[in-house]
Chain A
């Protein structure tokens, strides 16, 4: 675990910015957390090609920090949505999706009020909500995007909540297994 106030990544192989309600979503979700001291190191790490994954609030932080394009807006329904959704893998050529095939369905829960993705410019989409599954009104049913280089990935669904059979799906493991395969191949080799 890396402490937000500490400017030290302690040599980790990848950075994961988790979900939550950092600073109570005050002002805008992720707007204040993006200025945490550790984020300067995360930005450096990302610039150098390190793997950075932002989940839910983490995705919001990455967009506010301009490490990912676009922004997350309030759900069209204005409601907090908490349910299992089907995602489709759009791009399997990244460190986060290499253990998937394009078109593969992943069953992963969403739990958010501010998940409507908006980007006026073209973006690299990794995951889409399957037809009829868009829980928040995101443009083009976008659930997760990465940066141009493909080393920073943000998604609103919670893959870490789909790693145990008890919770109904282990599809989230695909993303972490992809990251581990990438690190094994490129970082530890």
Chain B
């Protein structure tokens, strides 16, 4: 299975990267943008998707400071989400 893991900074923890992006957008003429957060995307082919949460907890994310979301790419694509 082709999976995507989205890793986001936890709510409530200062995210200066998100703030930097949020400040940069108006300078380019984009108004009305708020609450920007910058995370990371990990894409992988896995034989055993059941082990993905464990991979996230141990390596792909630091659960103390990050939230993660596992997206099944095939399901996402069949639902019309762009890949």
Check A111 for interface membership: any CB of B closer than 8 A: no
Instruction: Count chain A residues whose beta carbon lies closer than 8 angstroms to a beta carbon of B.
Output: 18
Q: How far is the CB of B64 from chain A (nearest CB, A)?
A: 5
Interface check A45, CB cutoff 8 A: no
CB distance from B17 to the nearest CB of A (A): 7
Chain B residues with CB under 8 A of A141: none
Question: Of A50-58, A72-80, A144-152, which binds chain B?
Answer: A72-80
Closest to A73 in B: B65
Query: What per-residue 1/0 map shows which CB atoms of A132-154 lie under 8 Å from chain B?
Result: 00000100000000000000000
B residues less than 8 Å from A137 (CB atoms): 14
Cα–Cα, bound, A137→B20 (Å) = 16
Are A78 and B17 in touch, CB under 8 angstroms? yes
Contact of B14 among A31, A70, A76, A120 (CB under 8 A): A76
Which of A27, A64, A75, A118 lies in contact with B60, CB distance below 8 A? A27
B59 touches A (CB below 8 Å): yes
Min Cβ gap A142→B in Å is: 15
Q: For the complex, give the distance between the alpha carbons of A47 and B47 in Å.
A: 35
Kindly state the separation between the CA atoms of A120 and B17 in the bound complex, as whole angstroms. 21
Contacts of B20 in A (CB 8 A): 78
Name the A residues within 8 Å of B27 (CB-CB): none
* Contact in complex: A118, B59 (CB < 8 Å): no
> Using a CB–CB distance below 8 Å, which chain B residues touch chain A?
13-14, 16-17, 20, 40, 59-60, 62, 64-65
Sorted nearest first, the 9 A-B pairs with minimum C-beta distance are: A71-B65, A71-B64, A78-B16, A76-B16, A71-B62, A28-B62, A78-B20, A74-B16, A73-B65
